[in-house]
């Protein structure tokens, strides 16, 4: 009897965890407070991606629960934005940001085509010591190099995770707690329409 009770508890706990894990917003964090905050959402995608793979995945990303969200590789344009991004990490897991100096060596630009800063020069940098060194022609940037937040210029053969920045402004997301109420509201609208149709 006791064993059955325990296994029921385990099933319940497993269910709760899997609901959290599949929630689209679980890994997405909004920068909605503190100096310079822009209300954008940020999502760290771990993995071993080439820059081109990361960029095309980020640029075609959208949040299902935020209206008109447009994803791009993150643009880090201030120390405040870098500090916010640093809070997403407890260790230096490397990630691509949307910058390159491939067009003109040493002249860094935001290149992610869906980003609001696309084509703009970088004015903020957070290089790791002795970087950028363009060693063997390095035209892209991986952040969290050796320590959280620091940048290194790297070549196209490098693989890393990436951070998507969603640049649309914010639409409140219905929380699961509100959904039954909203569904009830929808049903009442349908009922009203039906009554109106019958009356007509």
Residues that bind Ca ion (CB under 5 A): 75, 101, 131, 133-134, 138-139, 152-153
Burial 129-165 (b: 16+ CB within 10 A, else e): eebbeeeeebbbbbbbbeebbbbbbbeeebebbbbbb
* CA pair distance 99, 74, nearest whole angstrom: 9
- Rounded least distance, CB 126 to Ca ion, Å: 13
Question: Which is nearer to Ca ion, 126 or 152 (by Cβ)?
Answer: 152
- Rounded least distance, CB 178 to Ca ion, Å: 30
Question: Which is nearer to Ca ion, 61 or 152 (by Cβ)?
Answer: 152
- Rounded least distance, CB 101 to Ca ion, Å: 4
- Rounded least distance, CB 12 to Ca ion, Å: 40
For residue 172, the tally of other CB atoms under 10 A from its CB is 9
* CA pair distance 175, 23, nearest whole angstrom: 11
Question: Which is nearer to Ca ion, 55 or 139 (by Cβ)?
Answer: 139
Looking at beta carbons, which residue is closest to Ca ion? 75
Question: Which is nearer to Ca ion, 43 or 131 (by Cβ)?
Answer: 131
Nearest-5° angle of CA 77, CA 81, CA 84?
A: 160
* CA pair distance 37, 25, nearest whole angstrom: 19
């Amino acid at each position: 009897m006791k064993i059955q009770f325990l296994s029921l508890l385990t099933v319940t706990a497993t269910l709760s965890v899997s609901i959290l894990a599949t929630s689209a917003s679980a890994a997405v964090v909004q920068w909605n407070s503190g100096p310079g905050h822009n209300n954008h959402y940020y999502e760290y995608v771990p993995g071993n991606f080439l820059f081109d793979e990361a960029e095309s995945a980020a640029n075609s990303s959208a949040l299902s629960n935020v209206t008109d969200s447009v994803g791009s590789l993150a643009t880090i344009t201030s120390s405040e934005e870098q500090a916010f991004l640093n809070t997403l990490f407890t260790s230096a897991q490397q990630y691509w940001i949307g910058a390159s100096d491939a067009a003109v060596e040493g002249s860094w630009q935001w290149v992610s085509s869906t980003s609001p800063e696309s084509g703009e020069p970088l004015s903020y940098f957070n290089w790791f010591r002795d970087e950028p060194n363009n060693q063997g022609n390095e035209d892209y940037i991986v952040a969290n190099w050796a320590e959280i937040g620091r940048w290194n210029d790297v070549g196209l053969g490098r693989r890393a995770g990436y951070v998507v920045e969603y640049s649309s402004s914010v639409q409140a997301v219905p929380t699961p707690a509100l959904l039954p109420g909203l569904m009830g509201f929808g049903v009442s609208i349908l009922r009203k329409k039906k009554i109106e149709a019958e009356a007509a």
